[in-house]
Amino acid sequence: MNAFNSHVNRRHFLKSAALTAGAVALPAWYLEECRGQAATPAPRSPNDKPGIGLIGCGGQGRGDCNWARSFGNVIAVADVDDGHAEAAKKQFNAEHKYHDFRKLIERDDIHVIINGTPDHWHTLVNVAAARAGKDIYSEKPLTLTIAEGKRLVREVRQRERILQVGSQQRSDPRFRLACELVRNGRIGKLVHMVVGLPTGPREGPFKPIPTPAGFDWDYYLGQAPKMEYVGLERKKDDGTVQHESRCSHWNFRWWYCFSGGQMTDWGAHHNDIAQWGNGTERSGPVAVDGKGLVEMIPGGYDAMAKYRIDCRYANGVTMTIVDEGTVTDRNVLGEGKRSPNGVQFIGTEGWIFVSRGELKASRAELIEEPLPASATRLYKSDNHMANFFECVRSRKAPICDVEIGHRSISIAHLGVISVRLGRPLQWDPDLERFVGDREANQWLRREMRKPYDWTFIA
């Protein structure tokens, strides 16, 4: 899947995630069960509308906020791209627009923050919001580093904030059913998992181009090292030159200084499901061996485009994370043993595969046979944003809370570190440190460029 199709697929999922279970290919017994469990919302006052602030007004942030506006009132928006901020202000009829997100967070009439910023800004925004007493819906991947994740978990817990990570697959009944079946031994003992992710782009070299008017590139860079604004120049038919960014907005995710490529982008989604099915959503693997499978182009994107990450858990389960264009020896699906975008659970008595488009198994009865009344059942949510706002009111933990989001993206960070170091690593998921490896432990955090370090939100 190329980057454009990956983007479109995610947008389509956001639009369809709130549909009822009847809209997806699920067995009749499960559909009936879901209908029987449908909750009746408690009556609410017309004034029971929390104030919402949107930080990061690109397509993903505006999509999240458009979903959230059904549950609250959008008071203010903030973005370092004035064009994005102005578009969001008009879309949501917001009263206030800010360049500096800290000014938005100061407002007493804002109770909920929607964080749609690029990955390297997630943690500073989320910590500042938690300190200000706001509840947070944060886009994934939750953090840029494992050290950021540990700090964010601590900050959110100390301040008793609600933080929902935008891993919407947890609120899709297909993924929940797949994990329930696996957790209840439907495929026997779980042995291996295959996480198939999109192949990242491999492009470049790029050249410096003018920064667009109204776009604060230095603020956008934030904690990342100073770099030039780069992209492509294209001559139009009339002889004028058109500049296309390759380092900001959608394309930030292909640069290591901002993100980790598809390993952290789609990996945040599918690693979460693998952990859920394995029962390790608040822990992680004990060993990781990552390999980059292609040379990146000098002067171009530097987040690895093709990769294979092999993990091992303390319970003996192993996992392979691979881009879907790569052949894997443990894959049970697909011609040529390439791993499709999704999660495969492989057990001693069969396998189950789940993706945003399908749920299937080695034998139909693995899915079609109802679970017994005594079965272990998982947290139920059929609308990710509604679950967040319900938890804002009840103060119960949301379906993808801060620790779950941190642990899911930690796997991707471990893979990226192993790839960049070029060797296998041993990991202690309790201490969240590499075992006997001082050099690797230095990669758990990154140096933050001033003034966009922790003092920026002090």
Alpha helix ranges (H) inside 111-207: 122-131, 146-158, 173-183
pLDDT band at 19 (very low <50, low <70, confident <90, very high): very low
What is the pLDDT at residue 335? 55
Per-domain residue ranges of the chain: 3-169, 173-201+257-378+407-457, 207-254
Give the architecture (CATH level 2) of 3-169: 3-Layer(aba) Sandwich (3.40)
- Residue 212 CB contacts under 8 Å (≥ 6 apart), including other chains: 81, 83, 245
Homologous superfamily, domain 173-201+257-378+407-457:
Dihydrodipicolinate Reductase; domain 2 (3.30.360.10)
**How far from chain centre, in Å, is Cα 177?**
20
* Burial of 436 from C-beta contacts in 10 A (0-12 / 13-18 / 19+): exposed
Tokens of 264: 């952290």
pLDDT, average across residues 434-443? 98
Residue 253: pLDDT above 90?
yes
Average pLDDT over residues 257-271: 97
* Long-range own/partner contacts, residues 445-449 (CB < 8 A, 24 or more apart): 445/145, 445/146, 445/147, 445/148, 446/144, 446/145, 446/223, 448/223, 449/221, 449/222, 449/223, 449/224, 449/225, 449/226
Average pLDDT over residues 176-184: 98
Q: For residues 326 and 47, what is the distance between their CA atoms, to the nearest angstrom?
A: 53
- Work out the average pLDDT over 69-77: 97
pTM for the full predicted model: 0.93
Residue with tokens 């789609």: 266
**Which has more confidence, 167 or 38?**
167
Q: Is the pLDDT of residue 115 over 50?
A: yes
Tokens 């003034």 sit at which residue? 451
- Better-predicted residue by pLDDT, 370 or 240: 370
3-state secondary structure of 151: helix
Closest CA to 281 of 366, 405, 193, 370: 405
pLDDT at 38: 63
The pair of structure tokens assigned to 213 is: 């008017």
| Region label for 383, one of left (φ > 0), alpha (ψ between -120 and 50) or beta (otherwise) | beta
**300-330: per-residue pLDDT in tens?**
999 999 999 999 999 999 999 999 888 888 7
Q: Is 121 exposed, middle or buried (0-12, 13-18, 19+ CB in 10 A)?
A: buried
Residues 424, 280: Cα–Cα separation, whole Å: 21
Does residue 216 surpass a pLDDT of 80? yes
Residue 16 is given by DSSP the state H
β-bridge pairing 425-428 and 433-434: antiparallel
Q: For residue 353, give the 3-state DSSP assignment.
A: strand
